[in-house]
Amino acid sequence: MAMSSTKNSNSLVTQCPNCHARIELSRRASSSAESQLRCGACLKLFSPVEVSTQGSKNATNSSAEIRARALTKVFSADTHSSALEPLTHDPTPNLEIDTLELSVARTAPWQKTAKSVAGFLLAALLLTSLAAQYLWANRIHYQQLPNFYPFYVTACKYAGCQVPPYSDIAAIRGERLAVEAASDGGNTLSVQFILVNNAPLPQAVPVLILSFETAANRSVALREFAPAEYLPENRQPERALSAGERIAIRLDLIDPGPDAVNYTLAFRVL
């Protein structure tokens, strides 16, 4: 400890005013006749002035001093020490971040419910409007479908248009068809069947087509009957067939001959 004290008392610490490099020299050298000292970092002359140890420590850690030592330091191939000097203090100042508080107005539960219901109703209204526009633009394809026909009828009441009568000719069937010769032995045949409307909606009474063929499927006789010609007298032909309605039909015809062994029923729209 005595030796260290002696060494510190015989040395002088100065600082280059140009590059702020820290220089330590003996007091004997500083009191020599030469009044100026050449800096080993920037090679400029200056008058040595003793600085405090705390100031020297701060100067040693200054960026100018570190840059000067880095420029003057000589590295060799066998040097294992790092060229970077560790920092003795945190160069980044402390940052203080103020807490930002956001105040959000609370919404009452009934207001949230009202907004949700209003949004749902608006979305449903838009979807319904879009679907109605699509169905109206393609009414030729959809107006004869059982599920959509009532919608078109209701829409036309307000739009002032007309929808063609519903018709599904494939749903009209002739069941229990029977052809019998007259009981009196005359040249007549009795054709009996049940007219059935299997459609889910009412539709107009169709035209009846009755044909007779040979065993080789060659037509012998064919005739079309209007609704007034084959419906019973107590049944008005203008009244549409209700959904699922069944009507018993009987026709007395002239016998087309012995070659007529097959017979068929067909219907078409009036």
**What rounded mean pLDDT belongs to the chain?**
79
Q: Residue 200 maps to which CATH number? A: 2.70.50.60
One domain, residues 149 and 219:
no
Q: Is the pLDDT of residue 263 over 70?
A: yes
One domain, residues 135 and 226:
no
Query: Of 253 and 102, which is predicted with more confidence?
Result: 253
Share of the chain above pLDDT 70, in %: 71
Q: pLDDT tens digits, residue range 136-173?
A: 788 888 888 888 898 888 888 888 888 888 999 999 99
Domain enclosing residue 51, as ranges: 2-72
One domain, residues 61 and 126:
no
pLDDT for res 5? 42
Token pair 């020490």 in the structure block, residue: 81
Cross-strand partners of 174: 195
| Closest C-alpha to 244, from 151, 168, 143, 154 | 168
Give the total number of structural domains in the chain: 3
pLDDT for res 3? 42
One domain, residues 173 and 209:
yes
Domain boundary among 97, 128, 159: 159
Share of the chain above pLDDT 90, in %: 29
- Rounded (10°) angle between helices 109-137 and 149-159: 90
Which of helix, strand or coil describes residue 195?
strand
Would 225 be classed as within a structural domain?
A: yes
Q: pLDDT tens digits, residue range 186-221?
A: 788 889 999 999 999 999 999 999 999 998 888 889
- As given in the structure block, the two tokens for residue 186 are 């005359």
Domain boundary among 106, 135, 159: 159
Would 85 be classed as within a structural domain?
A: no
pLDDT band at 6 (very low <50, low <70, confident <90, very high): very low
Is residue 203 within 8 Å of 197, Cβ to Cβ?
yes
Token pair 């015989």 in the structure block, residue: 10
Q: pLDDT tens digits, residue range 22-79?
A: 777 776 655 554 567 778 778 788 777 766 554 445 555 566 666 766 666 665 555 5
User: pTM of the entire structure?
Assistant: 0.50
pLDDT for res 48? 75
Q: How far apart are CA 109 and CA 111, in angstroms?
A: 5
Is the backbone of residue 43 left (phi > 0), alpha (psi -120 to 50) or beta? Answer: left
Q: pLDDT tens digits, residue range 233-247?
A: 999 999 999 999 999
Torsion of CA 151, 156, 162, 164, to 10 degrees: 0
Query: Of 227 and 31, which is predicted with more confidence?
Result: 227
| Closest C-alpha to 175, from 269, 265, 252, 270 | 265
Would 175 be classed as within a structural domain?
A: yes
How many CB atoms are closer than 10 A to CB 137?
10
Q: pLDDT tens digits, residue range 90-141?
A: 555 555 666 667 666 676 788 888 888 999 999 999 998 888 888 878 888 8
| Closest C-alpha to 148, from 160, 139, 158, 157 | 139
Would 236 be classed as within a structural domain?
A: yes
| Closest C-alpha to 69, from 93, 88, 41 | 41
Token pair 């749902």 in the structure block, residue: 120
Parallel, antiparallel or unpaired: strands 207-213 and 219-225? antiparallel
The arithmetic mean of pLDDT across residues 214-229, rounded, is: 91
One domain, residues 153 and 134:
yes
The region of weakest confidence among 4-8, 79-83, 219-223 is 4-8
- Report DSSP letters for 64-111, one per residue: HHHHHHHHH----TT--S-SSPPPSS--SPPP--PPP----PPPPHHH
Q: Is the pLDDT of residue 2 over 50?
A: no
Would 242 be classed as within a structural domain?
A: yes
